[in-house]
Chain A
């Protein structure tokens, strides 16, 4: 899959929008540095060098902002397109329902589109995840893309922020169905049984800072290979969900969450290794 890598950047001609600048930030999905495709296989992954097919690759990003020269943040006002972007949240979708991506959608969404005041910017920041304020609503009433059932996580509370599903090509007949990386908030307590959660013990949102981002040429790369580098993708701890789904006490998550920049059980957060810039 060839991604368009050009960052569209245009000064609008009409006033008073003269001072506005349109941004379209390209995202690329890769696995071990190789472009993601639903029909591709990827070798040398995880602690045992597993070969996998990838069957889903989607993530929510929110609260994107460009960084001004003085280091302050300029939030990007996202286009409200009725399909991929709502409020400050967007679903980035790299799977096209082909090949092994049987639970996918044909349509792709590989850019973040919006408007900022014209100016000079030298960095990008965003959150991987859905903001808490909209994460715990009723998905049957939510606008797109928050009605995407593949990203539902409501049995825990909220949405899956990241969904990257990998299936080892040499998996045993009775082995785990795959090694799925699902990230979402866990342990969300509520004050009473008639209210949405007040807070989640593990919000599990990834704050991303990309300092050398250039609006006219940078691409945001999402690659799970460094995140799962310490995990054996051919096995799954008994009685836990296949892969790492962020649930507490899952041995499959022990080496993984820290590389998403998140604390997990007694392992401290390390630098996030999922998102980089090119």
Chain B
């Protein structure tokens, strides 16, 4: 009979990652309850829940964020925590956490009006990257090469964007040859990393970036594990630029995707995730 450790997995759609996680629990003969966020009703008057630990695998950031807060307030340990989801779900909060911890990051400026954003862009110097603070999979990123483009995009954002586009997160463009590193940290330990190489400056594998193995080294281990600590992350994926001056942490992802990284790294990423959850539940 499978062991019941009070583990639940919060998700909705079952992508390859969730399927591999389910299979890893089954291979270890450990029961888990599946919570479909599309069916969840959060009763704010119910203070006791039948789970000890919840692995969050939502595809919707907003559902993850609110559900994790609900669970954490009811003393349910979640992986990751609400605090981590909150920080990692917002690029500005992530950069603030990383810079506070002294972790090297690209130069970033934040402004709240098109006028101050234009000044900030010119202060950084072209090209720059304009990102929505909340967003994923490389959506609505803009590489701005000159003042004409800057003025046009800022006007479009002001006119067409929703309210969260009125915070202008401006980052220096790191010319890394359309390549960056995606590093996986589980339980505080760097377990593997890939290069993502693309024909485009946006390198997400979700957008066609190709993966190859990174040989781990002490500098990469130190910066990635420090970045995970800075966002209080249990299981996170760190996006890193490799520059002549050293590594720079770009973003931290809290519901990491890894389907393209298992064969490349040779690391059983879902197995490591599940072993960590079981260890935390034990």
Are A and B physically bound partners? no
What is B's interface to A at a CB cutoff of 8 Å? Answer: none
What is A's interface to B at a CB cutoff of 8 Å? Answer: none
